[in-house]
């Protein structure tokens, strides 16, 4: 049995999780839609994908499956609005594809994946899962604590971009995550994103991740030492803080509502917005390599 299989065996599943309409602050959900313009999604100069990439990763399949590279980048490192797929456990990966297809992983960003997952065969899912699982995880996001962050807006591809000039704004209880040089992210695997987070966030988040902070179970209890993953409980280290926070809200609000996700729903039930920002900031700052 997989690790999550064992976990599930001991969990009383809450069967009546009702998804809230507004599952969390809007900033946690900024992502490119399935209809994002090809130019901003990287239509022009495409770097070579990693060696051994299946055709569907690079070229997609017909109208229903856009190339994974489009949104997850040729490196697989992804953007806050999509997901970092590098080094994800293959069983976990395949399970997510089936959840997207079945509608048990929905939500504001999950819908970008639903049609894609439905149009893929089990073999194609297995192949892409094995490919991404074989890519070495890399640091991609620098986490910086401050009171203020550069003034940004969310552009038409749902990407957060810096406004011209040097204006700043209060971070407040947010994660302001953006690429230093958005034009370069498709061509590099060097750290390209900065997440501006509130002062003290990492310290608070470390306490939750390693002890549960008196509110929940320690994240490392299931996600392993350094939250580097354990069997099919995925690694979280060094992944986008905005992505991590969005998933926590999605578990909390029952938008991710598979049997496996219900394990996480209980884990995050008592976490406040401040806890979520903090734990995402801490885990996102860890070196995954
Ligand atoms: C149109 C943009 C787009 C394309 C193309 C795309 N994805 Fe995604 N993908 C997303 C978004 C957005 C998410 C984040 C969903 C969420 O937040 O729940 C995601 C999430 C995922 C996840 C979940 C990761 C995790 O850690 O749980 C997997 C697996 C995945 N995609 C695989 C693929 C594969 C394989 C392909 C190509 C066959 C692909 N995606 C193509 C937008 C895309
Ligand atoms: C009791 C075991 C358990 C504990 C404790 C736990 N997790 Fe999880 N977590 C899981 C399982 C199982 C999954 C996979 C869910 C699925 O397959 O949909 C998961 C998935 C996740 C994901 C989604 C990853 C992705 O790629 O989308 C995030 C984020 C997450 N956990 C964060 C946390 C945080 C933060 C903590 C600590 C506060 C934590 N987890 C503690 C079992 C646990």
What is the mean predicted confidence (pLDDT) over 142-162? 92
Ligand nearest to the Cα of 250, by number:
1
In whole numbers, what is the pLDDT of the chain averaged over residues? 87
- Greatest mean pLDDT among 101-110, 183-192, 202-211 lies in 202-211
* pLDDT value at 209 more than 60: yes
| pLDDT at residue 91, as a whole number | 98
| pLDDT at residue 10, as a whole number | 46
What is the mean predicted confidence (pLDDT) over 32-50? 44
Cα–Cα nearest to 7, from 257, 263, 217: 263
pLDDT bucket at 27, cuts 50 / 70 / 90: very low
pLDDT bucket at 167, cuts 50 / 70 / 90: very high
Task: Give the other-Cβ count within 10 Å of 215's Cβ.
Answer: 14
Residue 239 CA: nearest ligand 2 atom is 26
Tell me the C-alpha to C-alpha distance, in Å, between residue 257 and each of 4, 14, 160, 245. 15, 10, 28, 16
In this structure, which residue's CA is closest to atom 25 in ligand 1?
83
Q: How far is the CA of 184 from the centre of ligand 2 (A)?
A: 31
Task: Give the other-Cβ count within 10 Å of 9's Cβ.
Answer: 8
| pLDDT at residue 2, as a whole number | 66
181-189 long-range CB contacts below 8 Å, 24 or more apart? Answer: 185/73, 185/79, 186/42, 186/45, 186/46, 186/47, 186/73, 186/74, 187/45, 187/47, 188/75, 189/75, 189/77, 189/138, 189/140
Does ligand 1 lie within 6 Å of residue 157's CB atom? no
| pLDDT at residue 37, as a whole number | 37
| pLDDT at residue 70, as a whole number | 94
What is the mean predicted confidence (pLDDT) over 55-76? 96
| pLDDT at residue 51, as a whole number | 82
* pLDDT value at 28 more than 60: no
* pLDDT value at 156 more than 90: no
Q: What sign results for the dihedral spanned by CA atoms 128, 98, 59, 158?
A: negative
Residues with CB under 6 A from ligand 2: 4, 7, 92, 95, 208-209, 216-217, 219, 221-223, 233-234, 236, 244, 247-248, 256, 258, 260-261, 263-264, 267, 279
| pLDDT at residue 229, as a whole number | 98
| pLDDT at residue 107, as a whole number | 80
pLDDT bucket at 1, cuts 50 / 70 / 90: low
Tell me how far apart the terminal alpha carbons of the chain are, to the nearest angstrom.
Answer: 27
What is the mean predicted confidence (pLDDT) over 202-210? 98
* pLDDT value at 47 more than 60: no
In this structure, which residue's CA is closest to atom 43 in ligand 1?
71
Q: Which range among 7-16, 57-66, 86-95, 97-106 shows the weakest confidence by mean pLDDT?
A: 7-16
Instruction: Give pLDDT tens digits for 219-254.
Output: 999 999 999 999 999 999 999 999 999 999 999 999
pLDDT bucket at 9, cuts 50 / 70 / 90: low
| pLDDT at residue 121, as a whole number | 98
Tell me the C-alpha to C-alpha distance, in Å, between residue 231 and each of 19, 78, 91, 92, 225. 28, 22, 8, 9, 12
* Cβ atoms of residues 247 and 279 within 8 Å: no
Q: Which range among 22-36, 61-75, 152-166 shows the weakest confidence by mean pLDDT?
A: 22-36
Does ligand 1 lie within 6 Å of residue 246's CB atom? yes
């Amino acid at each position: 049995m997989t690790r999550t299989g064992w976990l599930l065996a001991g969990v009383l599943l809450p069967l009546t999780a009702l998804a809230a309409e507004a599952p969390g602050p809007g900033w946690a959900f900024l992502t490119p839609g399935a209809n994002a313009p090809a130019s901003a999604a990287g239509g022009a100069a495409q770097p070579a994908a990693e060696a051994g990439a299946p055709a569907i990763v690079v070229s997609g399949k017909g109208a229903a499956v856009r190339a994974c590279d489009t949104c997850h980048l040729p490196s697989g490192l992804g953007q806050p609005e999509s997901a970092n797929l590098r080094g994800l456990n293959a069983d976990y990966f395949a399970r997510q594809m089936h959840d997207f297809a079945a509608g048990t992983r929905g939500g504001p960003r999950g819908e970008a994946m639903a049609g894609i997952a439905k149009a893929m065969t089990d073999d194609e899912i297995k192949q892409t899962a094995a490919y991404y699982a074989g890519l070495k995880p890399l640091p991609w996001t620098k986490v910086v604590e401050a009171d203020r962050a550069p003034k940004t807006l969310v552009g038409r591809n749902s990407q957060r971009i810096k406004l011209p000039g040097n204006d700043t704004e209060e971070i407040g209880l947010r994660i302001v995550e953006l690429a230093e040089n958005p034009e370069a992210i498709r061509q590099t695997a060097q750290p390209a994103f900065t997440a501006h987070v509130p002062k003290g966030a990492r310290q608070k988040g470390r306490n939750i991740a390693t002890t549960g902070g008196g509110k929940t179970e320690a994240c490392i209890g299931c996600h392993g030492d350094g939250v580097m993953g354990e069997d099919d409980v995925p690694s979280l280290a060094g992944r986008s803080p905005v992505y991590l926070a969005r998933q926590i809200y999605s578990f909390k609000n029952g938008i991710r509502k598979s049997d496996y996700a219900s394990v996480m729903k209980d884990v995050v039930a008592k976490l406040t917005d401040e806890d979520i920002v903090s734990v995402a900031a801490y885990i996102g700052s860890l070196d995954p390599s």
